Amino acid sequence: YILFDSAWVGYEQFIPMMADCSPLLLELTPDDPGIFVTQSVHKQQAGFSQTSQIHKKDNHLRGQARFCPHKRLNNVFMLHASTSPFYPLFAALDVNAKIHEGESGRRLWAECVALGIEARKAIIANCKMIQPFIPPVVAGRPWQDHPTEAIARERRFFSFEPDARWHGFEGYADDQYFVDPCKLLLTTPGIDAESGEYSEFGIPATILAHYLRENGIVPEKCDLNSILFLLTPAESAEKMAQLVAMLGQFEQHI
């Protein structure tokens, strides 16, 4: 068996451009291993804090000695589970599964991706120093000049192309990595992305994070010159507009 730690995703199978990243959609044969996939539902799906789940995909192994039956897996799991479980956590997992059933899950995440794209476009239009972490130019046109529908459909708008200079990373193949469209990653001044060198002027993202918290917006995390927001189907255009407004207001203080 192979374990895939999908703690920070779990929704990729509902987004066409990310579908081939989902281990749950792999077509497995009797010669392939079984897979386990762990997901932290509480991060970006519909679950209470601490809700997580383990998926087991191994029907292709039935009848083989290496097949792990339900009873064996359940007994091992119970070795590490509380004897006094909080049942609303289990109920939340069932609700999350129902919410994503059928076309509902695809529709919810399609709306989330589109909202994230529109938010990035608004930040580019309204901010000078704080910018989304995306390719600035795609197919000879500024990223933000492409239609939202096209950006949401094609992974090239989020991909790391070999020899690209907008991020400073090296040592990867074509179409190997891309930015998750549901992770709104912003950069602040301070590091030249092309050279990796520090700039004369910089704004630590921790300062921006503190400012946003003081104004009712809580980022997921930040480091020296980047700040991350997790997008979910619960976001709204009003929430995104408030974020853009606060980013613009922050820049006015600089």
Same domain, 86 and 159: no
Same domain, 51 and 167: no
Q: The tokens of 53 are what?
A: 């789940």
CATH number assigned to the domain comprising residue 192: 3.90.1150.10
Tell me what the pLDDT averaged over the chain comes to: 95
Which tens digit of pLDDT belongs to each residue from 127-153?
A: 999 999 999 999 999 999 999 999 999
Backbone phi, psi, residue 151, to 5°: -65, -40
Same domain, 73 and 114: no
Same domain, 95 and 110: no
Same domain, 32 and 56: yes
Same domain, 91 and 120: no
Same domain, 86 and 116: no
DSSP result, 160-209: --TT--SS---S--TTS-B--TTEEEEE-SSB-TTT-PBPSS---HHHHH
Last-in-domain residue among 69, 101, 133: 101
Which tens digit of pLDDT belongs to each residue from 174-193?
A: 989 999 999 999 999 999 88
Same domain, 249 and 207: yes
DSSP result, 89-127: HHHHHHHHHHHTTTHHHHHHHHHHHHHHHHHHHHHHHH-
Last-in-domain residue among 101, 119, 151: 101
Position 195 confidence tier, pLDDT thresholds 50, 70, 90 = confident
Range of the domain at 192: 104-253
d(CA 150, CA 20): 18
Same domain, 126 and 220: yes
What is the value of pTM for the model shown?
A: 0.93
Position 225 confidence tier, pLDDT thresholds 50, 70, 90 = very high
Instruction: List, as own/partner pairs, every contact residues 133-140 make where C-beta atoms lie below 8 angstroms and the sequence separation is at least 24, other chains included.
Output: 133/167, 133/179, 133/185, 133/186, 133/187, 133/226, 134/158, 134/179, 135/159, 135/161, 135/164, 135/166, 136/166
Which tens digit of pLDDT belongs to each residue from 30-76?
A: 999 999 999 999 999 999 999 999 999 999 999 999 999 999 999 99
Same domain, 13 and 25: yes
Same domain, 187 and 162: yes
Last-in-domain residue among 76, 101, 126: 101
- The domain total for the chain is 2
Residue 116, CA distances (Å) to 16, 143, 190, 195 in order: 15, 13, 24, 28
